[in-house]
């Protein structure tokens, strides 16, 4: 049996918990400066149509009385660890999706704690008591159904979908809830007459594969019946990233190169702090019209910002179309710990000194020489 546990409006809920004057008010985390982007918002703010990923300026227009607060990622991470500690009391088989979300396989704990629903109730009560936060829980025999159950239970609820109730639970849900059905796929599904998950279930595998291809057709056929063979387990790969949204669009390559160097220094430092290396660098580039591209390049396993920056800079030079840039980001892929990590070399003396200075005085205190900033 699988639980999907998801903290409700996590960042915003933390801000409301820490500052009681924000309770019941529309709170937006992120998007505070002119060109910022909303990271998340409270349920009160969602009532005005504000959503994650929305431009801060648009959020202000929708709700002028909203309270905008700067994100406190280290604080959120600390609280997330408290919640993770609660999860580990009930099972060692946990797949962490994000700071606020995880799958738990509790099959081995059912007898000990009196069943999956009892575990769900215990987790919700412990998180409320120890972290002061509401957490929604979905319980089912698969990850797919458990995830949808937690979504349906929000806010601050719990839904258990027994195996014999999976089809009645899934049938009326919007077809967009199917895993892997993005906006383009949803438009095509709607155009072909598929509005609810039940519409997919009532369609033969042969027709689904004829319409959507072998892989997508099979996925739609299986998931619409609640069949999901994915197991709960530690994610094999994660990423470290740093991105910046600019107060003014960046319009020249020299300024972009300087920013990429700063971003590369940040992710390299975090790699060294974890004793890790990465063999893949990813660039995120968002233009002023919000068109966004991501491109990646393999590199020799490294924690050196110069190697990471070189890859990011080459990707930028290759794929930048000359347009005004609103956001740049650099990410590196990090795998699970392995025997190879035993042989990660110690950071150089230069890196140790640079890291110590930045730990004490901030990321911008010192770094490699870069270009000046020029904006449109």
pLDDT band for position 360 (50/70/90)?
A: low
Q: Which tokens hold the place of 110?
A: 């059912």
Catalytic member of 15, 44, 95, 101: 101
The percentage of residues in the chain with a pLDDT greater than 70, rounded to a whole number, is: 87
**3-state SS, one letter per residue, for 172-238:** CCEHHHCCCCCHHHHHHHHHCCCCEHHHHHCCCHHHHHHHHCHHHHHHHHHHCCCCCCCCCCCCCEE
Of 5, 21, 43, nearest in space to 29 by CA: 43
- How is domain 10-73 classified at the CATH fold level? MutS, DNA mismatch repair protein, domain I (3.40.1170)
Q: What is the mean pLDDT of residues 56-83?
A: 93
The per-residue pLDDT for range 243-263, each reduced to its tens digit, is 898 888 999 999 999 999 999
Residue 92 vs residues 37, 104, 144, 206: alpha-carbon distances, Å: 36, 8, 20, 40
Q: Which tokens hold the place of 118?
A: 């009892």
The percentage of residues in the chain with a pLDDT greater than 90, rounded to a whole number, is: 66
pLDDT of residue 111: 92
Q: Rounded to an integer, what distance in angstroms lies between the CA atom of residue 371 and that of residue 376?
A: 16
On the question of pLDDT at 131 being above 70, the answer is yes
Lowest mean pLDDT: which of 97-106, 160-169, 258-267, 291-300? 291-300
Q: What is the mean pLDDT of residues 113-128?
A: 96
pLDDT band for position 376 (50/70/90)?
A: low
The per-residue pLDDT for range 193-222, each reduced to its tens digit, is 999 999 999 999 999 999 988 988 999 999
pLDDT of residue 68: 95
pLDDT band for position 240 (50/70/90)?
A: confident
On the question of pLDDT at 48 being above 70, the answer is yes
On the question of pLDDT at 351 being above 90, the answer is no
pLDDT of residue 292: 85
pLDDT of residue 285: 93
pLDDT of residue 181: 80
Higher pLDDT, 51 or 359: 51
Cβ-based neighbours of 259, under 8 Å, separated by 6 or more: 244, 250, 328, 373
Q: Rounded to an integer, what distance in angstroms lies between the CA atom of residue 369 and that of residue 189?
A: 51
Q: Which tokens hold the place of 2?
A: 């699988």
Higher pLDDT, 33 or 125: 125
pLDDT band for position 180 (50/70/90)?
A: confident
On the question of pLDDT at 342 being above 60, the answer is no
pLDDT band for position 289 (50/70/90)?
A: confident
pLDDT of residue 325: 94
On the question of pLDDT at 37 being above 50, the answer is yes
Q: What is the mean pLDDT of residues 269-277?
A: 87
Domain-by-domain residue ranges, the chain?
10-73, 168-223, 237-337+345-361
On the question of pLDDT at 290 being above 70, the answer is yes
The CATH architecture annotation of domain 168-223 reads: Orthogonal Bundle (1.10)
**3-state SS, one letter per residue, for the chain:** CEEEEEECCHHHHHHHHHCHHHCCCCEEEECCCCCCEEEEECHHHHCCCCCCCCEHHHHHHHCCCCEEECCCHHHHHHHHHHHHHHHHCCCCCEEEEECCEEEEECHHHHHHHCCHHHHHHHHHHHHHHHHCCCEEEEEECCHHHHHHHHHHHCCCCEEECCHHHHHHHHCCCEHHHCCCCCHHHHHHHHHCCCCEHHHHHCCCHHHHHHHHCHHHHHHHHHHCCCCCCCCCCCCCEEEEEEEEEEEEEECCHHHHHHHHHHHHHHHHHHHHHCCCCEEEEEEEEEECCCCEEEEEEEEEEECCHHHHHHHHHHHHHHHCCCCCEEEEEEEEEEECCCHHHHHCCCCCHHHHHHHHHHHHHCCCCCCCCCCCCCEC
pLDDT band for position 32 (50/70/90)?
A: confident
On the question of pLDDT at 75 being above 70, the answer is yes
Q: How many CB atoms lie within 10 A of CB 42?
A: 26
Residues 19-41 as b or e (16 or more Cβ within 10 Å = b): eeebeeebbbbbbbeebbbbbbb
Residue 294 vs residues 320, 321, 328, 370: alpha-carbon distances, Å: 11, 13, 10, 23
Q: What is the mean pLDDT of residues 278-287?
A: 91
pLDDT of residue 139: 98
Arithmetic mean of pLDDT over the chain: 87
Domain 237-337+345-361: which CATH class? alpha beta
44 tagged catalytic: no
Residue 133 vs residues 7, 50, 83, 351: alpha-carbon distances, Å: 7, 21, 9, 39
On the question of pLDDT at 339 being above 60, the answer is no
pLDDT of residue 362: 54
pLDDT of residue 236: 52
pLDDT band for position 223 (50/70/90)?
A: very high
Q: For tokens 């640079």, what's the residue?
A: 354
Q: What is the mean pLDDT of residues 74-100?
A: 92
């Amino acid at each position: 049996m699988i639980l999907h546990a998801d903290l409700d409006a996590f960042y915003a809920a933390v801000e409301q918990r820490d500052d009681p004057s924000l309770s019941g008010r529309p709170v937006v985390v992120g998007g505070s400066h002119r060109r910022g982007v909303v990271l998340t918002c409270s349920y009160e703010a969602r009532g005005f149509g504000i959503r994650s990923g929305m431009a801060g300026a648009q959020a202000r227009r929708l709700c002028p009385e909203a309270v905008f607060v700067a994100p406190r990622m280290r604080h959120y991470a600390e609280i997330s660890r408290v919640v993770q500690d609660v999860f580990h009391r009930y099972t060692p088989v946990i797949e962490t999706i994000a700071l606020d979300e995880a799958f738990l396989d509790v099959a081995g704990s059912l007898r000990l704690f009196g069943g999956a629903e009892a575990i769900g109730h215990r987790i919700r009560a412990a998180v409320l008591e120890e972290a002061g936060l509401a957490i929604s829980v979905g319980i089912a025999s698969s990850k797919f159904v458990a995830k949808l159950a937690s979504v349906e239970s929000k806010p601050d609820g719990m839904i258990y979908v027994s195996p014999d109730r999976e089809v009645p639970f899934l049938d009326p849900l919007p077809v967009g809830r199917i895993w892997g059905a993005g906006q383009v796929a949803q438009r095509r599904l709607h155009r072909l007459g598929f509005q609810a998950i039940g519409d997919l279930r009532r369609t033969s595998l042969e027709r689904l594969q004829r319409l959507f291809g072998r892989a997508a057709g099979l996925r739609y056929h299986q998931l619409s019946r609640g069949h999901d063979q994915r197991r709960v387990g530690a994610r094999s790969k994660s990423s470290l990233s740093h991105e910046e949204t600019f107060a003014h669009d960046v319009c020249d390559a020299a300024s972009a190169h300087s920013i990429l160097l700063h971003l590369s220094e940040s992710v390299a430092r975090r790699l060294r702090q974890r004793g890790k290396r990465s063999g893949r660098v990813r660039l995120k580039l968002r233009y002023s019209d919000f068109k966004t591209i991501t491109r990646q390049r393999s590199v020799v396993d490294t924690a050196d910002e110069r190697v990471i920056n070189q890859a990011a800079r080459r990707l930028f030079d290759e794929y930048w179309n000359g347009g005004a840039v609103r956001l740049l980001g650099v990410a590196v892929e990090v795998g699970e710990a392995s025997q190879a990590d035993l042989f990660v070399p110690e950071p150089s003396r230069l890196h140790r000194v640079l890291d110590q200075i930045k730990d004490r005085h901030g990321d911008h205190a010192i770094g490699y020489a870069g270009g000046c900033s020029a904006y449109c």
